[in-house]
Amino acid sequence: MSPRFDFASDNTAGMAPEALEAVTRANAGFASAYGSDETSRRAADLIRETVQADAEIRFVFSGTAGNAIALSMLADPFEAVAAHQAAHVCTDEAGAPGFFGHGVGMLGLPGESGKIDETALLAVLDEPVMGHRQPVGALSLTQSTEYGAVYTSEELRRLIEPAQAKGLRTHLDGARLANAVAAGFDPADIPRLGVDILVMGGAKAGGPCAEALVIFDRALARRIDNRLKQTGQVASKARFLSAPFLGLLESGAWVGHAAHANLMAQRLAEGVMAGTRYVLAHPVEANAVFVRMPARAHQKLNQMGWACHRFDDGSVRFVCSWATTEAAVDELIAAVAACG
């Protein structure tokens, strides 16, 4: 049976119509290269408008590159980055932060549903600096988290402020920022809270392989183009990286599609709770649903053709996207129930 990838991840869906149409428009005629084109300028302006800050904007090919380059700008090679132990930068980037940062380490911290525990962070910040260890030099946060939770602005403040007081800089992995915004988070709070660099998600929001590096502290952007060129992140036809952002943001689809994905996740969660004997592992606040189900049931679901993964905490993850339909959600609910 051919596998269905509807819920394997939100990056298995194709491009949203608004993103694809913007790429088609950008494809007409000739344009200046390396990000100096009108499409890139307009997309950057819309991102600044979204976060309400005069940030330096660059477009890169992947979230891994964006995260790793950002962290290499915030921490020295002899320092470590504090992040949630399940954060993408800790578990799914093959040591990219250390590679780009020439030795930067990662320090995984605990916390419910992917949110860093405040007490755990404070304990790390209070540790004495020793010559034999990498001291913490930066803080990395994820919004929404790897477990689909959405930080409130107050929760972020309680993490960022003590980190800043110790001289740390802050990075925000916003691969699913659109879903957090659709859930009520104000993106303008990101610079207000003191985040230094945001990696703004495009691929999971309905774009192709494109993310935006949003640098709030312009001093950090010194020779950023040289850094990006060295790391293979400068596109000669940059308009094809920026155009999807332009299409999604100017149409409102960046948040609109995320709201739909969140709604589908709620539908899935409610159906699983009502129609099966399984329980949810985490609150459903964005577009991901984590279900506690035994290995044999998960295997049966895979054999039925549904591609879905067992996550770090042992639960099975289902992710909704802009393209998720109510019919597909209901089919999955029935399939999960049949595995019981």
pLDDT at 27: 96
Domain 17-252 indexed as CATH 3.40.640.10: yes
pLDDT at res. 16: 98
Rounded to two decimals, what is the model's pTM? 0.96
Per-residue pLDDT of the chain (340 residues; tens, 9 = 90+): 678 999 999 999 999 999 999 999 999 999 999 999 999 999 999 999 999 999 999 999 999 999 999 999 999 999 999 999 999 999 999 999 999 999 999 999 999 999 999 999 999 999 888 888 899 999 999 999 999 999 999 999 999 999 999 999 999 999 999 999 999 999 999 999 999 999 999 999 999 999 999 999 999 999 999 999 999 999 999 999 999 999 999 999 999 999 999 999 999 999 999 988 999 999 999 999 999 999 999 999 999 999 999 999 999 999 999 999 999 999 999 999 999 7
Q: Over the chain, what HEC string results?
A: CCCECCCCCCCCCCCCHHHHHHHHHHCCCCCCCCCCCHHHHHHHHHHHHHHCCCCEEEEECCHHHHHHHHHHHHCCCCCEEEEECCCHHHHCCCCHHHHHCCCCEEEEECCHHHCCCHHHHHHHHCCCCCCCCCCEEEEEEECCCCCCCCCCHHHHHHHHHHHHHCCCEEEEEECCHHHHHHCCCCCCHHHHCCCCEEEECCCCCCCCCCEEEEECCHHHHCCHHHHHHHCCCCCCCCHHHHHHHHHHHHHCHHHHHHHHHHHHHHHHHHHHHHHCCCEECCCCCCCEEEEECCHHHHHHHHHCCECCEECCCCCEEEECCCCCCHHHHHHHHHHHHHCC
- pLDDT for 275 equals 87
Q: Where are the domains of the chain?
A: 17-252, 254-338
CATH classification code of 254-338: 3.90.1150.10
pLDDT of residue 129: 87
Q: What is the pLDDT of residue 1?
A: 64
